[in-house]
Structure 1
Amino acid sequence: MADLESLSAIEAACFPPAEAASSYELQSRLTVYPDFFWLLTEEQTIISFINGFATDCPDLTDDMYADATLHNPNGEWQMIFGVDTDPRFQHRGHASTLMHAVIEDTKAVGRRGLVLTCKEHLIGFYQRFGYIDEGVSSSTHGNVRWHQMRLTFDEMN
């Protein structure tokens, strides 16, 4: 919870207001599933983070962003709600470093894989990690067109 202010500032810098998680939503997430935040720090400053929760639901739905109680710590799928890097540190590989860690951690606990949504211009970025574009998502979060991306560990072997 001590990181809430920093996380909120980075989130606000990375996403337009309609898409960004509010400080209240981040606080709820930290309260319910603090171990589902991956942080990259440099000299005690958070420079990048990824957050999300686990669920048995195979698709990312809009209600998941706002309702932290939908988290199931033993869920089959790791949902990714945000991949954020402080703009002062972007384009240096920090998000990639964290994504590799999230993938390895998710695989290590035996989940089926990861799911996220992204804008069309980011599809190639996530495909580099093995995510498959499943097409336009039913999500209308922030009134934006999202693509659902899935990384299934069975398909990676």
Structure 2
Amino acid sequence: MKFTLASLNDLDEIMNIERQGFNAAEAGSIKSYRDRIVKLHDTFLTVRNDLNKVIGFVVGPAVNERFIKNDMYETTPNNLSKGGHQLVFTIAIDPDYRGQGIGSKLLSEFEKIARKDNRESIALTCLKNRITFYEKNGFTNLGVADSNHGDEVWYNMEKIIE
């Protein structure tokens, strides 16, 4: 496995994984992912297999806000260069590669970027059935989030960077 920052050349592979991991109401559009690759280049990490195929990714902005706001999905915020909070919009793994610990390794690599850039925390929202996964990766469940993205109930998860 190899971890690299995303480029526009990865867009088709990223969108394929996105569509397999999320329903139509939750999934990001090609336009939003193109914008994220450009604006969030330093915090858009991919994982590749031995054939250099993208098999997973994690992306989110580094901002002053501690948690994701619904409008951030509509208009991608710009990354802070240093400090603030690292948010996770999406982490997704190709279905053929799930259950192999790749998601945990991807989060660990993402945390290295957040530490290097002096972020205070990493935060995300997830569905109830994913809480255990994030808790195993050091996140704390802070309860139901304000978000109603995709008409789902989301939970705020946070990991303090010390």
Distance 1:20 1:55, change over 3 A: same
Residue ranges of structure 1 left out of the alignment (5+ in a row): none
1:29 lines up with 2:36 in the alignment: yes
From 123, 128, 138, the equivalent of 2:146 is: 138
1:4 lines up with 2:18 in the alignment: no
TM-score (ref. length: structure 1): 0.93
Q: Secondary structure at the match of 2:77?
A: helix
From 64, 71, 76, the equivalent of 1:68 is: 76
**Is the 8 Å Cα contact of residues 64 and 70 (structure 1) preserved in structure 2?**
no
TM-score (ref. length: structure 2): 0.90
Residue ranges of structure 2 left out of the alignment (5+ in a row): 1-7
**Is the 8 Å Cα contact of residues 136 and 145 (structure 1) preserved in structure 2?**
yes
Fraction of identical pairs, as percent: 27
In 2: Cα distance, 1:72 partner to 1:28 partner: 16
Q: Secondary structure at the match of 2:46?
A: strand
In 1: Cα distance, 2:29 partner to 2:125 partner: 18
Aligned residues: 154
Q: CA deviation at 1:108?
A: 2.1
RMSD over aligned Cα atoms: 1.2
Q: Secondary structure at the match of 1:110?
A: coil
1:41 lines up with 2:48 in the alignment: yes
**Is the 8 Å Cα contact of residues 55 and 74 (structure 1) preserved in structure 2?**
no
In 2: Cα distance, 1:69 partner to 1:131 partner: 23
In 2: Cα distance, 1:132 partner to 1:18 partner: 26
